Amino acid sequence: MVTSAVKEKQRIQQKQTFSYPQVEGYEDLPTTVLKLTNLVKSYDRQTTVLDGINLELQEGEFVSIIGKSGAGKSTLLRCINRMIEPSSGTILFNNTSLTKLNKRELRKERTKIGMIFQHYNLVSRLTVFENVLHGRFGYKSSLKGILGIYSEEEKLLALQILDKLGMKEHIYKRCDQLSGGQKQRVGIARALVQEPTLLLCDEPIASLDPNASKVIMDHLKEISQSMGITVLVNLHQVDVAMRYSDRIIGLSKGEKVFDGKPKNLTQHNIKDIYGSEVDELIFE
């Protein structure tokens, strides 16, 4: 007899586009949040910046992308939510093909993809609280968004997230009165208030000192572990990627040259990723 649990497992497996390893209970099955197939980006006819990237990310994974300057890290991250239009390939996000969506549909799907930037992208003359609430913009009609009309639930959510990030006492401060580390925590709060399943972080610690960097990386790790949000982060620091990641992706000239656990990243792999600059890297 086919039990309802088995039926449910079959239903989920049919819905997914990848093969699972054989496991006992369907609750143990990994959920693919993002699947990139043959992603290509050329800004002009001469150069291919992303050369057929294939990548799958699972729920709650913390994945870093490393590679030297110009390798295509930012382009890859920005192609995922189509901030930059890929030239070809497919982007499957929670089983929805993002490349096939029109503008309105894409706007809706993007609510589930948070983004964090090196230079924070905050509105400096607005308060911390106002900036965080901007994360709800994608859920609103344009008029409500423009008028800044937010529900009590949305305000409570923003407060809870700011509290979790140690920013509650600063909510009424203008963003231009904050330190870099505080600004980045506002950036994280604005992304989390979207209630995302995927967080894209484009060099989130590149402008921060080591102490502030640690605070930000600790928060991002905590977000992936306790909230089950998939975190994909571009990093310049190999030692930071080694310390925090479940998986590291190495990019070189738009190609994926490494994809594995930090403990499996060898000096040989590092050389493939960074070429002759390998000696300048801090490596634990």
Binding site for ligand ATP (CB under 6 A): 43, 49, 67, 69-75
Number of Cα atoms under 13 Å in the Cβ half of residue 68: 13
In the chain, the DSSP E strands lie at 32-41, 50-58, 62-66, 88-93, 96-97, 113-117, 198-202, 230-234, 247-252, 255-260
- Whether 71 contacts 253, CB under 8 Å: yes
Of 68, 67, 76, whose CA–CA distance to 41 is shortest?
76
Least distance CB 200 / ligand ATP (angstroms):
12
Least distance CB 266 / ligand ATP (angstroms):
21
User: Of 194 and 245, which CB lies nearer to ligand ATP in the complex structure?
Assistant: 245
User: Of 41 and 110, which CB lies nearer to ligand ATP in the complex structure?
Assistant: 41
User: Of 69 and 211, which CB lies nearer to ligand ATP in the complex structure?
Assistant: 69
Burial class (CB in 10 A: 0-12, 13-18, 19+), 261: exposed
User: Of 18 and 43, which CB lies nearer to ligand ATP in the complex structure?
Assistant: 43
The whole-angstrom separation of Cα 234 and Cα 84 is 16
Least distance CB 84 / ligand ATP (angstroms):
7
Handedness of CA 232, 234, 235, 239 (dihedral sign): positive
User: Of 165 and 273, which CB lies nearer to ligand ATP in the complex structure?
Assistant: 273
User: Of 49 and 132, which CB lies nearer to ligand ATP in the complex structure?
Assistant: 49
In sequence order, what DSSP letters do the residues of 190-256 get, joined into one string? Answer: HHHTT--SEEEEESTTTTS-HHHHHHHHHHHHHHHHHH--EEEEE-S-HHHHHHH-SEEEEEETTEE
Phi and psi of 206, rounded to 5°? -65, -25
User: Of 119 and 261, which CB lies nearer to ligand ATP in the complex structure?
Assistant: 119
Contact partners, residue 192, CB within 8 Å, separation at least 6: 114, 135, 161, 199, 223, 227, 229
Least distance CB 67 / ligand ATP (angstroms):
5
User: Of 75 and 184, which CB lies nearer to ligand ATP in the complex structure?
Assistant: 75
Least distance CB 237 / ligand ATP (angstroms):
11
Least distance CB 100 / ligand ATP (angstroms):
24
Least distance CB 71 / ligand ATP (angstroms):
4
Burial class (CB in 10 A: 0-12, 13-18, 19+), 204: buried
Least distance CB 30 / ligand ATP (angstroms):
28
